[in-house]
Chains A and B, each alone.
Chain A
Amino acid sequence: EVQLVESGGGLVQPGGSLRLSCAASGFTFSSYWMSWVRQAPGKGLEWVANIKQDGSEKYYVDSVKGRFTISRDNAKNSLYLQMNSLRAEDTAVYYCAREIIVVVPAALSWGMDVWGKGTTVTVSS
Chain B
Amino acid sequence: DVVMTQSPLSLPVTLGQPASISCRSSQSLVYSDGNTYLNWFQQRPGQSPRRLIYKVSNRDSGVPDRFSGSGSGTDFTLKISRVEAEDVGVYYCMQGTHWSWTFGQGTKVEIK
Tell me the A residues contacting B by CB distance below 8 Å.
Answer: 37, 44-47, 59-62, 95, 100-101, 104, 106, 108-113, 115-118
The reply on B96 being an interface residue by CB < 8 A is yes
Say how far B1's CB is from chain A's closest CB, in angstroms.
8
Tell me the B residues contacting A by CB distance below 8 Å.
Answer: 1, 31, 33, 35, 37, 39, 41, 43, 48-51, 54-55, 60, 90, 92, 94, 96-97, 99-106
Can you show 14 pairs from A to B with CB atoms below 8 A apart? A44-B106, A45-B106, A62-B1, A95-B49, A109-B101, A110-B37, A110-B55, A111-B54, A112-B41, A113-B54, A113-B60, A115-B48, A115-B49, A115-B50
A113 CA to B60 CA, complexed, in Å: 8
Contact indicator B54/A45 (Cβ below 8 Å): no
Contact indicator A110/B54 (Cβ below 8 Å): yes
Chain A residues lying within 8 Å of B103, measured Cβ to Cβ, are: 44-47
Contact indicator B37/A47 (Cβ below 8 Å): no
A59 CA to B98 CA, complexed, in Å: 12
Chain A residues lying within 8 Å of B39, measured Cβ to Cβ, are: 109-111
Contact indicator B96/A111 (Cβ below 8 Å): yes
Contact indicator A106/B31 (Cβ below 8 Å): yes
Say how far B5's CB is from chain A's closest CB, in angstroms.
12
Contact indicator B49/A112 (Cβ below 8 Å): yes
CB contact between A61 and one of B48, B54, B100, B104 (< 8 Å): that residue: B100
Q: Which of A108, A115, A117 has the most CB of B within 10 A?
A: A108
A18 CA to B49 CA, complexed, in Å: 24
A62 CA to B1 CA, complexed, in Å: 10
A108 CA to B100 CA, complexed, in Å: 10
